[in-house]
Amino acid sequence: NAGVTQTPKFQVLKTGQSMTLQCAQDMNHEYMSWYRQDPGMGLRLIHYSVGAGITDQGEVPNGYNVSRSTTEDFPLRLLSAAPSQTSVYFCASSYRIGQGDGYTFGSGTRLTVV
Amino acid sequence: SQQGEEDPQALSIQEGENATMNCSYKTSINNLQWYRQNSGRGLVHLILIRSNEREKHSGRLRVTLDTSKKSSSLLITASRAADTASYFCAKRSGGSNYKLTFGKGTLLTVNP
C-alpha cells in the first residue's frame, strides 16, 4: 500500500541509549519531515528534507540527527535519549515542494524514555 | 513559535449539528491546510486553501480564508459521531515553502 511507513510503533528506551526511528515512503515524494507531538503542544517540526542529500533543522532539532541518502527513506536518530524526548513522533512527506500539496503522515512511533 | 492557533480548544456538539473551528496566524502564508487526527492515529489531510482563495468546499467541509484578518475557519456540516477527532490547521509560510507549521488543535466531540 502506498504511503508513509514508520517503525517501530512503540519503543521504550533507557536514558542515554540511542536509537533510530525509521520512515519510508513509496510515493516518490521530494519533501519529508519529522514532527513530535506532545500533549497541549500540537506538532513541532524537528528536521526536514527537501530531497536526497539535503536536510535542515526545524523548530526543535536538539538531540536529534537525520540523513537522507535516498528519496524513500528519512531516519531520525536519537543520539542520547532523555526523558524530555518522550513523545509521539510522526514522519510526513509531500510531493511538489511549493505547489501546495498536503502532507501524508505515518501512523507514528510512541517513544517512552525512562 | 507556533502559528496556526485553533479556537476553541475543545468543542462538543450533537450529531446533525454544524461544527465551526477557527484558526489564526501571525505572518503571511502560501497556503493553509486542515488536518484531522483520530485518537492514537496519524494526521489525515482534509483540505488546502491557497492565499489567493477565499473559500473551498470538500463534501461536508467548508474552509474560508481571510488574509486581512489572518484567519481561517473550518465548517463541518451535519456532523456525525465519526467526525469525533482533533482538527489542526497548518500553514505553509510564504518565505519558506518547505515547512508546515501546526497549531495545537481543536478536539471535536460529536455525541450520538
In tens, the pLDDT along B93-109 reads 755 556 788 989 999 99
CA A87 from chain center: how many Å?
12
- Does A89 contact B at CB distance below 8 Å? no
Q: Strand runs (DSSP E) across chain A, as ranges?
A: 4-7, 10-13, 19-25, 31-38, 42-51, 54-57, 64-66, 76-78, 87-94, 104-105, 109-113
CB–CB contact A108 B2 (8 Å): no
CB–CB contact B43 A40 (8 Å): no
Identify the closest residue of chain B to A99 by CA–CA distance. Answer: B97
**Model confidence pLDDT, tens digit, residues A28-51:** 998 999 999 998 788 999 999 989
- Cell output for B87: 482538527
Instruction: For the beta carbon of residue B63, count every other beta carbon within 10 angstroms.
Output: 24
CB–CB contact B45 A103 (8 Å): yes
CA distance B86 to B37: 5
Q: In this structure, are residues B49 and B72 in contact, taking their beta carbons and an 8 Å threshold? A: yes
CA distance A86 to A102: 27
Which portions of chain B are predicted below pLDDT 50? 1
CA distance A46 to B2: 13
